[in-house]
Chain A
Amino acid sequence: MERPSDQRRVRGNGSRLAGGAVRQAANRRRRVRSYISIIAGLAIWELVARLIHNSLFIVPFTTVVSRLVTMTVSGQIWPNLGASSYEFAVGFLLGAGTGILIGVVMAASRPVEEYLDIWVTFLYATPLVALMPFFIIVFGVGIPAKIAIVYVMVVFPVLINTFTGIRTADADLLEMVRSFSASPGQVFREVLFPSALPFILTGLRLGVGRGLIAVVVGELFFSQQGLGYLINLAGQSFDTPLLFVGVLILAVAGVVLTGFLQTLERRMTPWRR
């Protein structure tokens, strides 16, 4: 009597394996097309730049790369890259931590939510980079002001996503663990946090983009170092290759960090397809 269901089971696994092969092929095709697209884009950039032949407006990709190599060899890039990385890392980690913490507290407590909700919505919608001059007044022109601007830019997307993730947890699953006498802490560990995890990772991904904007904008004002400083310097001295070096590094950083978080999301939430 067990047999029929067993057989169906095997067949079910088989088709799932076949589905996996199809998905893998689709993924491979997607990757190949992405690479072709990147190469084609860079080739067009190179071609157009050589045709226009005005290094003030646009410089070929190869010129930007060779400038980057020169700066790496001379060591000019490192203090700037280091400063920006440091500001971003500290601001991002503090912002993400605060966002998750307040998001959890808001989701757990109706009164806290009702008191804070209006301010969170208001501040999330505000282009907070506009506060940079204010942070310079408060913290001076050094690194703390940049950390502050990254922090406020990262907090809100993480906070809102954490809150939403916890609030949208499946009510049936909550009742299920409660029926097994789970304490509030256990309900959080078993259901609320795992439900919120994909949302939190999405919030962090949004935070990466906003944090990078914050670093650059922060360094555009009265800085002595950083990628934003280099870009500003390049603009003032009509050094287009240097300008593109700065932008290129930021773009790569954004892609790498976002990709890392996407991989993390896939690894940590294998049940989502």
Chain B
Amino acid sequence: MAAPKVELRGLHIAFAGEDGPFDVIQDLSLQVASGQFVAFVGTSGSGKTTLLRSVNGLLQPAAGEILIDGEPVRGPGPSRAFVFQRDCLLPWRNVLDNVTLSLRLRGVSRVARTAAGMDLIRLVGLRGFEHHFPHQLSGGMRQRVNLARALAADPDVLLMDEPFAALDAQTREVMQLELLRIWLRTRKTVLFVTHQIDEAVYLSDRVLVLSARPARIREDIEVPFPRSRALSLKRSPEFAVLADRVWSLIESDVMSALQGGETADDR
């Protein structure tokens, strides 16, 4: 592999719990090539979101290193942008101003912001809605804004935290297809967290199966299907075989989590 875009070296993250610190991520190492679409799957509470937050720089690891283009991450920066599970749109800003948030924070002029914002609004299929406010939009449209806002920062790496989890099944399928279209256009490196196995297999070049907490990489699976992928791929036998393999890898974790009555959320 050429020099990796994202590299994690012996990443270790612990949270303070009531009975002292507990490990969320333990000795996790990983390399992601530039332009690769990587999906992380695992049971609820397996530290997937924590992993993304640490790559974003919102969270400091207890040990190990996070490198982007060989440079260690010390905090949030322009090389990475987050697409949130809850869309986290600013309710007092319209679509255009939400999309161009990062440009506003960088002091880009209004004219340049508007031009860049309108391009992205068109890219995510929200043309004509630029002056609507978030409360006037459907869940799927809000996630499009969420994605456009991350793209506006023009990051090398997109960090996507179950962005379609709250959407209904049909909207989710449409959004997956849209995401692939946009990704093929922009060729960002994507780290995509989901608990939906078919979503992971459909979208990514590579599925990383995480173990139950503390998270380690249990399996690193190449997804061989060529681009671009139609939604009908999901109904093919090859797809079912691969999805089944991923499921078998996390099944025991899911079962034991259910039996243990564990209610930990994704943090």
Binding site for B on A (CB under 8 A): 1-2, 4-5, 8-9, 12, 16, 172-173, 175-183, 186, 190-191, 194, 197, 269-271, 273
Contact = CB atoms under 8 A, between A and B. Distances in A.
Interface in B140-198: 140-141, 153, 170-171, 174, 177-178
Nearest to B128: A9
Interface in B37-96: 56-58, 75-78, 81-82, 84, 86, 88, 90-92
B101 interface: yes
Given A5-B171, A180-B81, A270-B133, A190 B101 contact: yes
Contact of B105 (A5, A186, A269): A186
Given A180-B105, A194-B90, 6 more contacts: A1-B174, A8-B171, A179-B76, A181-B76, A181-B105, A186-B105
The 7 closest A-B pairs by CB, nearest first: A271-B91, A176-B88, A194-B92, A179-B82, A180-B102, A181-B76, A179-B76
B228 interface: no
A173 B88 contact: yes
Given A1-B177, A5-B140, A172 B105 contact: no
A269 to B, nearest CB: 7
A273 B90 CA distance: 15
B132 to A, nearest CB: 9
Contacts of A175: 58, 88
A176 B83 CA distance: 9
8 contacts: A1-B177, A1-B231, A5-B140, A16-B136, A178-B58, A194-B90, A194-B92, A271-B91
Contacts of A270: 133
B138 interface: yes
Kindly name the residue among A1, A183, A194 whose own CB sees the greatest number of chain B CB atoms within 10 A.
Answer: A1
B134 interface: yes
Contacts of A8: 138, 171
B92 A179 contact: no
Interface residues of B, number: 34
A4 B169 CA distance: 12
Nearest to A197: B92
B68 to A, nearest CB: 14
B58 A2 contact: no
A181 B171 contact: no
B154 to A, nearest CB: 12
Contact of A178 (B76, B92, B141, B231): B76
Given A1-B177, A5-B140, A9-B138, A271 B76 contact: no
Contacts of B78: 181
A172 B90 contact: no
A180 B76 contact: yes
Nearest to A2: B125
Contacts of A186: 105
Contacts of B229: none
